[in-house]
Amino acid sequence: MSVAKKDYKRITVKTLVDMKANGEKISMLTAYDYTMAKIVDGAGVDVILVGDSASNVMAGHETTLPITLDQMIYHAAGVVRAIERSLVVVDLPFGSYQSDPKEALRSAIRIMKESGGHAVKLEGGKEVKESIKRILNAGIPVMGHLGLTPQSIYKFGTYTVRAKEEQEAEKLKEDALMLERIGCFAIVLEKIPAKLAQEVAESISIPVIGIGAGNGVDGQVLVLHDMLGMTHEFHPRFLRRYMNLYEDMTNSISQYVKDVKDLDFPNEEEQY
């Protein structure tokens, strides 16, 4: 049974800002297809992120870099067809916004037109400021993403906690203020110290959604397949697994194989 607040008929970017102002925490999960998005939306999740983590989770790539704009649009369109209440935010994939603001706008417009998503998310601070401004000027809501930004994994070299050093923490704080100032409606903070994340959340009026950023922020996001325990090789400290679907699915599928081999399936009632 869902304990989410159902009194918002439809979540908009304004709803999220109001939630922060009212002290109500925001729930966000990823989804990449129609069937999963229908369950996530029906369970009362406020924001569905069609994350470029689809590159890992759905396509089996090692990083988020290979996924294309066309593939993101394909995933997002399925999600949008499923939802009744959640806000759908779609990641701009690597290479679709970094080179120049015009290309960033073209990519964001394709996402909005071809998938029906409600907003886009992109990674980075002042390096992508002009691209974000261009997208915002076209009336497209933008969610920022700071801290561990997986599209820059080859620059970082590792997925460890970011902004532990003073200099990087200062830049992150400046970037968060800048993202609020230019008009982003929310920011994801990934894998940074909880104290820093709380400080950022308290310094701005737009919602800060954390993943591995502690409890002092305005909402939480997890990758759906991780929190359901469908993936099992990934054990970051911040991940709470609510199910062990890897084991349950493996057991069910093994049972099916056995039933077929033993001529137990289909039985009399399961045929015409």
**Which of residues 45 and 221 has its CB atom nearest to ligand KIV in the complex?**
221
Pick the binder of ligand KIV from 45, 188, 197, 213 (CB under 6 A): 188
Q: Is 211 in the site for ligand KIV (CB under 6 A)?
A: yes
The site that binds ligand KIV (CB under 6 A) totals a number of residues, namely 11
Give, as one character, the DSSP assignment of residue 64: S
Choice from 11, 47, 51, 197 touching ligand KIV (CB under 6 A): 51
3-state helix, strand, coil in the chain (%, to 5): 45, 15, 40
The one catalytic residue in 130, 190, 233, 247 is 190
* Whether 222 contacts 29, CB under 8 Å: yes
Contact set for ligand KIV, span 62-101 (CB under 6 A): 91
Query: Least separation, in Å, of the C-beta of 57 and ligand KIV?
Result: 8
Long-range contacts (CB closer than 8 Å, 24 or more residues apart) made by 124-130: 124/98, 124/149, 124/152, 124/175, 125/171, 125/172, 125/174, 125/175, 125/176, 125/178, 125/179, 126/174, 126/175, 126/178, 127/98, 128/97, 128/98, 128/104, 129/178, 129/182, 130/101
* 190 part of the active site: yes
Residue 256 CB, shortest distance to ligand KIV, in Å, is 31
**151 binds ligand KIV, rule: CB under 6 A:** no
Residues with a catalytic annotation lie at 190
Kindly list the residues in this chain that would bind ligand KIV in the complex (CB under 6 A): 30, 49, 51-53, 91, 188, 190, 211, 221, 223
